[in-house]
């Protein structure tokens, strides 16, 4: 074969293509430095590919699920059998749960980032209660089918929460393991921008007079409700909920409507299975919740004819019995200080009515300060605002747990390329100090992303994890965040079970 023939042969052509592809692959940065993408789905190497526009929560095997309390006899070594023989049936069930959760931790692997859980009662050396203990206690009851209601987790935040991406991903991880408690919180109207709902379909009319803690002051009326948005019926306001076939046709069953009535004559209607139902709530003056129940199944239900004299806030879409509920309580452009516009006693009453067990706060992306030196002068005020919000939660709802997520990252495009805001590490540390000082757990999202380097790494990674605005994650990015949180939560749950079993 001549040299010319060799150079034009198929062998050389294939070799050249392979070399080009190898070179291109070497130029693609891995996310978070050299840290591998968290993939907790064994046997699914493409688990973190970008999801289609409509996230299919039904068909995706989101995480390994372990049997919590099976009836089969376990094979125990003699020492374990001796211990089991002197335990009560309840203690034996707790030990089986602990073994099952340890097996889940083994499948998930060690968390890349752990929760910080400060001591609330006692000292670090002799602590009788840590942040999130009460939530874990409820989660244990749910896992062992000893609870009559779901364990509830609410996430307050800004646009990173509003779209329901993070909360939907967390539901997809938590509910297959601990039970489906329902979708959770739904605004009764649209607060500035329509809130996402990715596990059920929500359609709200625009015939509402809307006031939000973001756009309005609380001087005229500080009654912004559970999640910071008040809705008044202007004549023909409606809310329609239906099962979402694209998310697995989730069942609907129970709806708790939150309101504040100034006159005590609250009423509304709902239409279900072709029948109109009229609901009058007697003695409804002040803050209240009213539950509507329908046969569990795949349904559509429309609420209408809301009393014009009442302030309506939203409803909780839940299922009866044990399970996990995760609320999306985000608002676009929100900052943590906006929560201070809500009347403290009113907000405390709304939280008690919602009966959420874990209140978490995910703010920071709307802080306008890019440069660290400028934020230093603002940090004392920011920390005071966060302290006041968390202080209200701890003072008015001491039996409930609280959790602070740090801000993620923010980046800008400079002549030298993408770079991170220098203020972010200071903001994160201020958020951490506020959480620890007020007895709230803390999860460092910024560190989980890889610190300041994570801005560039997540943006350049394939699949891309950070959007082109250098502030909001992509679908794959939200999935990565949720799996990091879930892995850390299960790890801490096991640590709690060790101390309480």
Q: How far is CA 348 from CA 142, 260, 269, 351, 359, in A?
A: 25, 13, 27, 5, 12
Q: Give the whole-angstrom CA distance, residue 171 versus residue 326.
A: 6
Total count of domains within the chain: 2
What average pLDDT does this structure show over 284-289? Answer: 88
Q: What is the pLDDT of residue 98?
A: 95
Domain with 248 in it: 182-320
Task: Compute the C-alpha angle 370/372/375, nearest 5°.
Answer: 80
Average pLDDT, the chain: 85
Query: pLDDT digits over 154-206, tens only?
Result: 999 999 999 999 999 999 999 999 999 999 999 999 998 888 898 899 999 99
- Other Cβ atoms closer than 10 A to 213: 25
Are residue 174 and residue 187 in the same domain, yes or no?
no
Asked whether the beta carbons of 267 and 280 are under 8 A apart, the reply is yes
Q: Give me the CATH number covering residue 173.
A: 3.40.50.1110
pLDDT higher than threshold 50 for residue 120: yes
Are residue 161 and residue 191 in the same domain, yes or no?
no
Decide if 25 is inside a domain: no
Are residue 214 and residue 309 in the same domain, yes or no?
yes
Query: pLDDT digits over 84-111, tens only?
Result: 667 788 888 999 999 999 999 999 999 9
Q: Is the dihedral of CA 183, 184, 188, 191 positive or negative?
A: negative
Give residue 6's pLDDT band: very low, low, confident or very high (50, 70, 90).
very low
What global pTM score does this model have? Answer: 0.84
Residues sharing a CB contact under 8 Å with residue 76, sequence separation 6 or more, in sequence order = 84
Query: pLDDT digits over 391-429, tens only?
Result: 999 999 999 999 999 999 888 888 888 888 899 999 999
Are residue 235 and residue 350 in the same domain, yes or no?
no
pLDDT higher than threshold 60 for residue 478: yes
Decide if 119 is inside a domain: yes
Q: Give the whole-angstrom CA distance, residue 171 versus residue 176.
A: 8
Q: Give the whole-angstrom CA distance, residue 228 versus residue 238.
A: 20
- Nearest one of 449, 451, 467, 450 to 459, comparing CA atoms: 467
Are residue 197 and residue 172 in the same domain, yes or no?
no
- Beta strands in 139-228, from DSSP E residues, in sequence order: 151-157, 184-187, 200-204, 208-212
Give the DSSP letter string of 404-470.
Answer: EEPP---EEEETTEEEE-TTHHHHHHHHHHHHHHTT-EEE-HHHHTTTTHHHHHHHHSSS--B-TTS
Asked whether the beta carbons of 241 and 316 are under 8 A apart, the reply is no
- Nearest one of 307, 200, 211 to 253, comparing CA atoms: 200
Are residue 414 and residue 436 in the same domain, yes or no?
yes
Asked whether the beta carbons of 134 and 401 are under 8 A apart, the reply is yes
Q: Give the whole-angstrom CA distance, residue 46 versus residue 54.
A: 17
């Amino acid at each position: 074969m001549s040299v010319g023939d060799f150079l034009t042969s198929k062998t050389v052509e294939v070799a050249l293509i392979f070399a080009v592809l190898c070179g291109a692959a070497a130029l693609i940065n891995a996310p978070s430095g050299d840290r591998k993408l968290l993939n907790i789905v064994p046997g699914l190497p493409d688990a973190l590919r970008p999801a289609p526009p409509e996230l299919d929560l039904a068909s995706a095997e989101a995480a390994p699920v372990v049997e919590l309390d099976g009836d089969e006899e376990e094979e125990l070594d003699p020492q374990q059998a001796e211990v089991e023989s002197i335990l009560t049936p309840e203690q034996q069930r707790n030990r089986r749960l602990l073994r099952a959760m340890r097996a889940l931790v083994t499948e998930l692997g060690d968390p890349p980032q752990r929760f910080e859980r400060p001591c609330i009662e006692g000292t670090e050396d002799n602590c009788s209660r840590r942040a999130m203990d009460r939530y874990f206690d409820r989660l244990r009851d749910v896992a062992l089918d000893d609870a009559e209601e779901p364990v509830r987790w609410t996430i307050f935040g800004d646009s990173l929460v509003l779209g329901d991406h993070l909360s939907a991903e967390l539901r997809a991880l938590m509910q297959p393991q601990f039970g489906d408690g329902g979708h959770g919180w739904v605004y009764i109207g649209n607060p500035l921008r329509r809130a996402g709902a990715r596990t059920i379909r929500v359609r709200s009319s625009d015939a509402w007079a809307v006031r939000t803690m973001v756009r309005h002051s609380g001087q005229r009326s500080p009654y912004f409700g559970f999640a910071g948005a008040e809705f008044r019926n202007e004549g023909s306001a409606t809310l329609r909920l239906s099962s979402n076939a694209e998310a697995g046709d989730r069942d609907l069953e129970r709806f708790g409507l939150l309101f504040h009535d100034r006159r005590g004559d609250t009423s509304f209607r709902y239409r279900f299975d072709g029948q109109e139902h009229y609901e009058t709530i007697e003695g409804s003056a002040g803050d209240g919740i009213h539950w509507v129940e329908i046969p569990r199944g795949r349904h559509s239900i429309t609420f209408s004819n809301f009393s014009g004299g009442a302030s309506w806030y939203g409803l909780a879409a839940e299922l009866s019995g044990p399970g996990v509920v995760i609320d999306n309580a985000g608002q676009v452009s929100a900052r943590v200080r906006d929560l201070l516009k809500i009347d403290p006693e009113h907000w405390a009453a709304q939280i008690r009515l919602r009966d959420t067990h874990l209140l978490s706060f995910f703010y920071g992306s709307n802080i306008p300060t890019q440069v660290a030196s400028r934020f230093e002068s603002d940090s004392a005020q920011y920390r005071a605002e966060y302290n006041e919000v968390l202080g209200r939660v701890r003072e008015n709802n001491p039996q409930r747990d609280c959790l602070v997520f740090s801000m993620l990252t923010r980046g800008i495009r400079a002549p030298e390329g993408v770079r991170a805001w220098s203020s972010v590490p200071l903001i994160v540390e201020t958020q951490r100090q506020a959480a620890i000082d007020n007895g709230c757990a803390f999860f460092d999202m910024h560190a989980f992303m890889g610190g300041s380097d994570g801005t560039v790494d997540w943006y350049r990674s394939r699949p891309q994890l950070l959007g082109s605005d250098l502030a909001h994650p992509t679908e794959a990015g939200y999935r990565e965040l949720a799996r990091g949180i879930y892995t850390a939560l299960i790890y801490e749950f096991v640590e709690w079970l060790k101390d309480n079993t």
